[in-house]
Amino acid sequence: MFAAAIFDMDGLLIDSERPIMAAWIEVARTLGIELSHSQYMQVVGLSTVESEVVLASLLGGAAAYTHAVGLVRQRLQLERSDGTPLFPIKSGAAEMLAALRERGTRCAVASSSTSAQIQACLGSLGVLEHFSAFAGGDEVLRAKPDPALYLLAAERLGVDPADCIAFEDSENGARAALAAGLRVVVVPDLKHPPASIVERAFHVLDSLHDALAHLPRWFPQQAMQKV
């Protein structure tokens, strides 16, 4: 059994990858550039810096990328005009977090998004209270697949990485967690993990909803802890 759960955010807890991809494709089209679905998929799971390099190449250079990213950011506001979140919570995420809280399991987020973005997104979805710690991409020198984010999250939880399960949707995220010494449950989003990751994963699930049945075996019932 394990002492804590550490979650990625984008594509795992929140459905952000699809709206972001749609925004990039639409902005590129308004600029007279055809950015296909398959082309954009090259950046899924990459670090911010790596994504910038690939997108700049696809869009025709650094200047085109800089212009496009400003337009994409305008489209990707945290809240829609009707007050609903742009990035909805993924299936089973809220139920799983509530179940872990009931079990007294400590939870953290290890995401390439900034700490401010993490707390704003999860706060808007009403699940922020379930987390004891956060590790954002602005707090480490190296992005996933480097283990720094997961090591920082485990440290802030006060838990040995070997006593944690990481929940990830991407190959780079899974590699980061494995390198940090965590067990990894992969819940694929836009991309299915390669065989090399599947073979090393603790489990591969279709959604976080499917994880609910496993929680009694993975996490012991503990006294309720304040988060």
3-state secondary structure at position 14: strand
pLDDT of residue 84: 72
Q: How many residues does the chain have?
A: 227
For 13, 105, 142, the CA distances from 128, given in Å and listed in that order, are: 11, 15, 25
Closest CA to 70 of 24, 35, 113: 24
Sequence-ordered strand ranges (E) for the chain: 4-7, 106-111, 133-136, 164-168, 183-186, 203-204
Q: What does each of the 227 residues of the chain score in pLDDT, given as a tens digit?
A: 999 999 999 999 999 989 999 999 999 999 999 999 999 988 887 777 888 999 999 999 999 999 999 999 888 875 566 667 788 999 999 999 999 999 999 999 999 888 998 999 999 899 999 999 999 999 998 989 999 999 999 999 999 999 999 999 999 999 999 999 999 999 999 888 899 999 999 999 999 999 999 999 999 998 655 54
Sequence-ordered strand ranges (E) for 39-182: 106-111, 133-136, 164-168
Sequence-separated (6 or more) residues with CB below 8 Å from residue 110: 6, 7, 8, 135, 149, 150, 152, 153, 166, 176, 177
Instruction: Report helix angle 148-157 to 171-180, nearest 10.
Output: 60
Instruction: Report helix angle 17-30 to 48-59, nearest 10.
Output: 30
Name the token pair of 191. 């991309």
At residue 89's C-alpha, the angle toward residues 85 and 92, to 5°, is: 160
Inter-residue contact 181 to 197 (CB < 8 Å) = no
pLDDT of residue 80: 62
pLDDT of residue 128: 96
* Alpha-carbon radius of gyration of the chain: 18
pLDDT of residue 42: 87
Q: Where are the alpha helices (DSSP H) in 139-194?
A: 148-157, 171-180
Name the token pair of 116. 């401010």
Instruction: For residue 192, give the amino acid letter.
Output: H
pLDDT tens digits, residue range 25-63?
Answer: 999 999 999 999 999 988 887 777 888 999 999 999 999
